[in-house]
Chains A and B, each alone.
Chain A
Amino acid sequence: MERIIFKKPDSMIDVVTHYCAGCGHGIVHRVVCEVIDELKVREKTIAVAPVGCAVIAYDYWNFDVTEAAHGRTPAVATGIKRVLPERIVFTYQGDGDLAAIGTAEIIHAANRGENITVVFVNNGVYGMTGGQMAPTTIVDQKTTTTKKGRTVKRDGYPLKISEMIAVLPGARFVERTSVHSPREILRTKKAIKKAFEIQIENGGFSMVEILSMCPTYWGMSPAEATKRIANEVVKTYPLGVLKG
């Protein structure tokens, strides 16, 4: 007798994604979809996709999805959730979308205590536009706009936006996780599940920042990229619960 021990979540569409080899987006997509399946909220979920590498996330997700202008993602989610408070509304944003152009929107959505969930994928680089420096790029990291590495003098400091959001009274739950190893992926799933559960219980704003690999624009192999997170990136962005 056949026993299925691993299958595609119902919340995922069975297609090949456009993501590069070793990219973390595919993992995070799957984790989010597993959580939505497990919480049985697929039919009442409305997602807001970002501008960035995950811009066509709606091609992979089997629930209602809207696009948003770059960085306005939490404002769009606010509009949706206020009109339909019983639906599960989440944004999926990269570090360019959330921590640069959308800084105002994420801070104020959190500060209003909007009952939404934010899945924030931080790979420290602009992927879709070809590997430019992001606010989250760590010091000395080489990108197409920091060819000799990011310097504090010219480019300022890596932006720890989750720490900023964690101090806001409106933020109920903020955790930073990573997807560089199976253990961290499981922790990511646990955090995302908790964030969604908080929303289901009308608990307020919840956000999970996920450190993710971008081998293409880090200029290394997928295996090296996972090691880079473990050895380097976590020094700037320590993992753990920041609030909640």
Chain B
Amino acid sequence: MKTKNTEKILITGNEACGEGAIRAGCKFYAGYPITPQNELTSYMSKRMDEVGGIFIQAESELAAISMVFGAAVTGARAITTSSSPGISLKQEGISYLAGCELPAVIVNIMRAGPGLGNISPAQSDYFQATRGGGHGDYRTIVLAPGSCQEMFDFTYASFNLADKYRNPVMILGDGILGQMMEPIQVAGYRPQAAGSKKPWALTGCKGRKPNVIRSLLLKEGALEEFNRKLEKKYSLINKNELRFEKYKTEDAKIVIVAYGTSSRIARACVNRLRNDKIKAGLFRPISLWPFPYKALKALDKGKTRFLTVEMSAGQMLEDVRLAVQCDKRVRFYGRTGGGVPREEDIIKEACLPAGRL
């Protein structure tokens, strides 16, 4: 049955992300132009008008994230999107969101760096995304989609996560995911109401005591106490929100570890290796923070080899090493500066013996 809410549409990853936000009841968007995510900003300018939401083209990424902060202060579901250099600027606001325990969604359609770099796809903001990114002891929940469908699904889900934990959530995509088109199913999704009740929100103090949103804690010991509370929240997230996908890992002797666009290429490599009777599998982290260390380690049968594939000089590699705890059996293959790994090169690396770093 085809209704307004059950449909298959051909859409770019950028637009799928925007539609996921709209269907999650997001009513506030602020952003600043940057390639390769401009379609997303443009899409939101149209869709926010259609659903009676708010769209602001901000004067900078700093302003955009602060506008999202303001919207989040009122309890509204809010999102901002950008690409790597812009996300660096947003780190100020992300730290404040985390410090004020405000829910918001930030999308990074990564391009190559450092500096202005170029506009080609990359995965070189992994450290920044998964280690907090801004100043202070905090974490951001990071989800890495690998298709247009997941750009939609994960963005949709990210608002619930943000509300549930009162924490910023980052969608970490890349220029390929943002620009490519795929058919996606939006069947069954319903525009959600504003999410959970938010008694902490600033709405005017009628009928209650005034609310204050702050991250400044000057009293001796107060900030440490607060940061311990954050730690507890983060361990809860670590327990509840681990997401990953395993592909042909059951009997795998070589496990390729990759996320996002790289995982799609790696999946094809696994199929080709299997055709050649090589027992390869794919482990694909979906939540990059929290990182599924235990699930990855569980694939280690003692002699299992791991090949991390990234569009970076080796960032998730560090988490893979932390998980496997054996440097000899963890290899890395990556392309950087906008380069995309080729199947042939990954396969060649996968077939190399252990012990060569």
- Chain A residues with CB under 8 Å of chain B are 42-46, 48, 55-56, 58, 61-69, 72, 75-84, 87, 104-105, 107-108, 112
B210 near A79 with CB under 8 A, answer: no
Which residues of chain B are within 8 angstroms of A72 by Cβ–Cβ distance? 62-63, 66, 69, 92-93
- A83 in contact with B60 given A43-B206, A64-B204, A66-B214 (CB within 8 Å): no
CB distance from A45 to the nearest CB of B (A): 6
Which residues of chain B are within 8 angstroms of A105 by Cβ–Cβ distance? 59, 62-63, 66
B62 near A83 with CB under 8 A, answer: no
A66 near B202 with CB under 8 A, answer: yes
Interface 9-mer from B70-78, B297-305, B318-326, B336-344: B70-78
B212 near A64 with CB under 8 A, answer: yes
Which residues of chain A are within 8 angstroms of B354 by Cβ–Cβ distance? none
Of A43, A63, A69, A83, which contacts B96 at CB under 8 A? Answer: A69
- State the 8 A-B residue pairs at the shortest beta-carbon distance, nearest first: A79-B70, A72-B66, A75-B66, A43-B206, A66-B213, A76-B70, A44-B204, A108-B59
Please tell me the number of chain B residues within 8 Å of chain A, measured between CB atoms.
Answer: 40
Which residues of chain A are within 8 angstroms of B92 by Cβ–Cβ distance? 69, 72
CB distance from A162 to the nearest CB of B (A): 19
Assess whether B154 is interfacial by the CB under 8 Å rule: no
Of A58, A64, A68, which contacts B69 at CB under 8 A? Answer: A68
Q: A68-B69, A79-B72, A108-B58 are in contact. List 7 more A-B contacts (CB 8 A).
A: A43-B207, A55-B216, A56-B216, A66-B100, A76-B66, A79-B67, A80-B70
- Smallest Cβ-Cβ distance to B76: which chain A residue: A83
Of B28, B63, B213, which contacts A67 at CB under 8 A? Answer: B213
- Measured between alpha carbons, how far is A80 from B210 in the docked complex, in Å? 16
- Chain B residues with CB under 8 Å of chain A are 27-28, 30, 54, 56, 58-60, 62-64, 66-74, 76, 78, 92-93, 96, 100, 202-207, 210-216, 218
- Measured between alpha carbons, how far is A225 from B99 in the docked complex, in Å? 37
A-B contact pairs, 10 of them (CB 8 A): A42-B205, A64-B210, A64-B212, A67-B100, A72-B66, A75-B66, A76-B66, A84-B74, A108-B59, A108-B63
Residue among A63, A66, A104 with max Cβ neighbours from chain B (10 Å): A66
Which residues of chain A are within 8 angstroms of B69 by Cβ–Cβ distance? 68-69, 72, 75-76, 79
A80 near B74 with CB under 8 A, answer: yes
- Smallest Cβ-Cβ distance to B213: which chain A residue: A66
- Smallest Cβ-Cβ distance to B218: which chain A residue: A56
- Smallest Cβ-Cβ distance to A84: which chain B residue: B74
- Measured between alpha carbons, how far is A105 from B68 in the docked complex, in Å? 14
Which residues of chain A are within 8 angstroms of B30 by Cβ–Cβ distance? 79
- Measured between alpha carbons, how far is A78 from B211 in the docked complex, in Å? 19
Which residues of chain A are within 8 angstroms of B207 by Cβ–Cβ distance? 43
Which residues of chain A are within 8 angstroms of B204 by Cβ–Cβ distance? 43-46, 63-64, 84, 87
- Smallest Cβ-Cβ distance to B212: which chain A residue: A58
Which residues of chain A are within 8 angstroms of B100 by Cβ–Cβ distance? 66-67
- Measured between alpha carbons, how far is A55 from B62 in the docked complex, in Å? 19
- Measured between alpha carbons, how far is A105 from B216 in the docked complex, in Å? 22
Which residues of chain B are within 8 angstroms of A48 by Cβ–Cβ distance? 70
Of B59, B76, B214, B218, which contacts A58 at CB under 8 A? Answer: B214
B56 near A78 with CB under 8 A, answer: yes
- Measured between alpha carbons, how far is A191 from B68 in the docked complex, in Å? 30
B202 near A80 with CB under 8 A, answer: yes
- Smallest Cβ-Cβ distance to A73: which chain B residue: B66
Of A63, A67, A78, A83, which contacts B215 at CB under 8 A? Answer: A67
Which residues of chain B are within 8 angstroms of A66 by Cβ–Cβ distance? 70, 73, 100, 202, 212-214
B71 near A83 with CB under 8 A, answer: yes
Which residues of chain B are within 8 angstroms of A78 by Cβ–Cβ distance? 56, 63, 67, 70
Which residues of chain B are within 8 angstroms of A45 by Cβ–Cβ distance? 204
Residue among A42, A55, A76 with max Cβ neighbours from chain B (10 Å): A76
- Smallest Cβ-Cβ distance to A112: which chain B residue: B56
B205 near A43 with CB under 8 A, answer: yes
- Smallest Cβ-Cβ distance to B28: which chain A residue: A83
Which residues of chain A are within 8 angstroms of B60 by Cβ–Cβ distance? 104
A83 near B66 with CB under 8 A, answer: no
B70 near A67 with CB under 8 A, answer: no
CB distance from B101 to the nearest CB of A (A): 12
Which residues of chain A are within 8 angstroms of B205 by Cβ–Cβ distance? 42-43, 62-64
- Smallest Cβ-Cβ distance to A108: which chain B residue: B59
Of A63, A69, A79, A107, which contacts B73 at CB under 8 A? Answer: A79
B210 near A61 with CB under 8 A, answer: yes
Which residues of chain B are within 8 angstroms of A80 by Cβ–Cβ distance? 70-71, 73-74, 202
- Smallest Cβ-Cβ distance to A62: which chain B residue: B210
Which residues of chain B are within 8 angstroms of A79 by Cβ–Cβ distance? 28, 30, 66-74, 78
- A82 in contact with B212 given A44-B204, A46-B202, A77-B70 (CB within 8 Å): no
- Measured between alpha carbons, how far is A63 from B98 in the docked complex, in Å? 23
B67 near A75 with CB under 8 A, answer: yes
- Smallest Cβ-Cβ distance to A101: which chain B residue: B62
